[in-house]
Amino acid sequence: MKSMTWLIHLMLPNWRRILLALILSTLTITSHIGLMATSAYLLARAALHPPILDLMVTIVGVRFFGLSRAVFRYLERYVSHDVTFRVLSQIRVKFYQGLEPLAPARLLNFQSGDLLSRIVADVEIQQNFFLRVFAPPFVALLVLFGYGFFLARYDLRFSFILAACFLVAGLGVPLGIKSLGQGGGRQIVALKAELNTQVADSLLGITELVAYGQDQAHLAKIQLTDKNLMDQQRRTAWLSALSSTLTGMIANLGLWLVLVLGILLVEKGKLSGVNLGMLALGTFSSFEALYPLSLVPHHLEQSRAAADRLLELIEAKSAVQDDGADSPQPKGLDFSFEDMSFRYDQDQPWALKNLTFRIPYQGKVAIVGQSGAGKTSIVNLLLRFWEYDEGRIDLGGHSIREYTQEDARGFIGVVTQRTHLFNATIRENLLLAKPEATDEELIRVAQQAKLHDFILSTPQGYDSLVGEGGFKLSGGQRQRLAIARVLLRNAPILILDEAMAGLDPLTEREVMDEVYQLMEGRTTLVITHRLTGLEKMDEILVLDKGQIVERGKHAELLRQKGLYHKMWEMATIFN
């Protein structure tokens, strides 16, 4: 019920449009009833050969209901879909607002394909909530009361027949279909999410799947999921056909009951014979309001399942919470760790233990160590992606917890090993760092990053597409684009997290020269397991199992013959 309350709450701001859509939908069905009833009345009157002028009002009525039904149907679809799209827009915004603070700490247990499925498929399913769940019962009730009141003018028993048939077709049939298709809607949502995840994984990892010969096995998994989904959808289609058949049978039964009662009343002289066909066909036409009701439980189950998946992320608490206070003014732009300890989960070992070091304003410190030593955890804490457990981290003379997440990240520019580029233009990828930047600023930072000449050589220049993940660019060009973004951001603190990993030696030397220029005038933290160029660092910290085991300058650490010296020797051998 919580998910349904959430959806209804999102609909409430549009209550005027919702009311208008319900009225228009009721008028559409009323016009259909009027068209069929008036046509039957016209045929019955015409069979008695009255003067043509006596039929003119009825003829106009047939034309009016025929035209008005089309007009009301168009307006109803326009307004109801407008409401639906407005609600979907709100859901997407709510989902992103809930998702963004969770990255990356709370999203580690979710696959990218699953997240994509939630923001696309699960949101799209909610279009059925108003159109196929919320509106049909209200419209059916309005039609029942409206046409039931009309029938009561001739005989109250006509209204009882209509109410009984509406009760069976509008409540009994949906409950029966629900019992036959129990859990089908939830299974369809789960299977769609699983299929979307598998397809997304195959697209993102197609190279690895082919390289390791797992492409056919992964394809078989997708085919099995697809088959299960098709079976569920086929079952839903069968239930839909069954429900339409049962509703049609009850509609015909209602017609015959009205017809039989009407014949008895005509024989007793209590009903005019020309009204008999009008009442029977009008009753039959009123069942148009009931056909959508049979699958309301199925669509409701789908909407609830999809909404539950959305709320799972929207209501999740982020790993880092701002206290609501304004960020302090930093006293300089140095940062320090004092006896800081951190682990990703209470059941896991310490990722960092009793870490103590300081980087002064415009200082240059490198942290080296093997994979898994805890280097990237330091970056995650500085960017406030996670909260540390013990000790203290200071930024600009204040605890980093006193800053809001946005303000803390505003001081820091990061170049990582895997620079994420969107499937957009070079210009758009650069503007992520500063959306209001001018063309002159973009050209300046591209020139500083030695990227401008390459951009001009492309067919569309700065409007050239880089492809998904930047696959149209080389490794060096992607890193230069990342450097250009950091230059455009102009952050006073620079973090290089394995920024040279994956580059060939020649490209690495070229990019390193640009990176050293980037360090000038900035407080810099270099995190790497490669020891190239560390001679220029003010201090080097050697990290092992989350603790600093050695510290000093490059030459000092080599003389100590410790872990740093072993890493240097290994790097020399492989180079």
Same domain, 341 and 282: no
Nearest-CA neighbor of 513 among 490, 533, 494, 485? 533
In three state form, how does the secondary structure of 295-349 look? HHHHHHHHHHHHHHHHHHHHCCCCCCCCCCCCCCCCCCCCEEEEEEEECCCCCCC
Same domain, 289 and 340: no
Burial environment of residue 106 by CB neighbours within 10 A (0 to 12, 13 to 18, 19 or more): middle
Same domain, 348 and 276: no
CA–CA gap between residue 197 and residue 202 (Å, rounded)? 9
Same domain, 360 and 476: yes
Percentage with pLDDT > 70 across the chain: 97
CATH of the domain at 173: 1.20.1560.10
**Does residue 270 sit within a domain?**
yes
SS3 374: coil
Q: What mean pLDDT is reported for the chain?
A: 87
Same domain, 485 and 416: yes
Confidence tier at 177 by pLDDT (50, 70, 90):
confident
Q: Which two tokens stand for residue 7?
A: 């959806």
Please report the pLDDT score of residue 27 as a whole number: 95
**Does residue 428 sit within a domain?**
yes
The dihedral formed by the CA atoms of 155, 72, 170 and 253, expressed in degrees to the nearest 10: 50
Give the relative orientation of helices 56-99 and 2-11 as an angle to the nearest 10 degrees: 120
pLDDT tens digits along 100-127: 888 887 777 777 777 878 888 888 889 8
User: In this model, does residue 554 exceed pLDDT 90?
Assistant: no
**Does residue 242 sit within a domain?**
yes
User: In this model, does residue 522 exceed pLDDT 80?
Assistant: yes
**Does residue 205 sit within a domain?**
no
**212 secondary structure, DSSP code:** T
Question: Tokens 């959808």 appear where?
Answer: 233
Whole-model pTM: value is 0.78
User: In this model, does residue 388 exceed pLDDT 80?
Assistant: yes
CA–CA gap between residue 509 and residue 493 (Å, rounded)? 22
Nearest-CA neighbor of 532 among 507, 549, 556? 507
CA–CA gap between residue 170 and residue 180 (Å, rounded)? 16
User: What distances in angstroms separate CA 95 from CA 12, 91, 92, 155, 311, one per listed residue?
Assistant: 18, 6, 5, 54, 8
Number of domains the chain contains: 2
User: In this model, does residue 38 exceed pLDDT 60?
Assistant: yes
Q: Which two tokens stand for residue 341?
A: 């300890």
Q: Which two tokens stand for residue 464?
A: 């050239």
CATH of the domain at 542: 3.40.50.300
Which tops the pLDDT comparison, 207 or 161? 161
Same domain, 415 and 451: yes
Same domain, 246 and 142: yes
CA–CA gap between residue 325 and residue 317 (Å, rounded)? 19
What's the farthest any 2 CA atoms get from each other in the chain? Answer: 120
Same domain, 537 and 473: yes
**Does residue 226 sit within a domain?**
no
Please report the pLDDT score of residue 569 as a whole number: 79
Confidence tier at 225 by pLDDT (50, 70, 90):
very high
Same domain, 31 and 172: yes
Nearest-CA neighbor of 126 among 4, 17, 15? 4
Same domain, 294 and 406: no
Domain that holds residue 373: 335-574
Same domain, 301 and 400: no
How many Cα atoms are found within 13 Å in the side-chain-facing hemisphere of 490?
Answer: 8
CA end-to-end distance (rounded Å), the chain: 63
Strand order across the 335-342 sheet: 352-359, 335-342, 390-395, 398-399
CA–CA gap between residue 391 and residue 342 (Å, rounded)? 9
Helical H segments across 118-267, by residue range = 123-125, 127-128, 135-152, 156-167, 173-180, 184-204, 206-211, 215-267
Same domain, 310 and 339: no
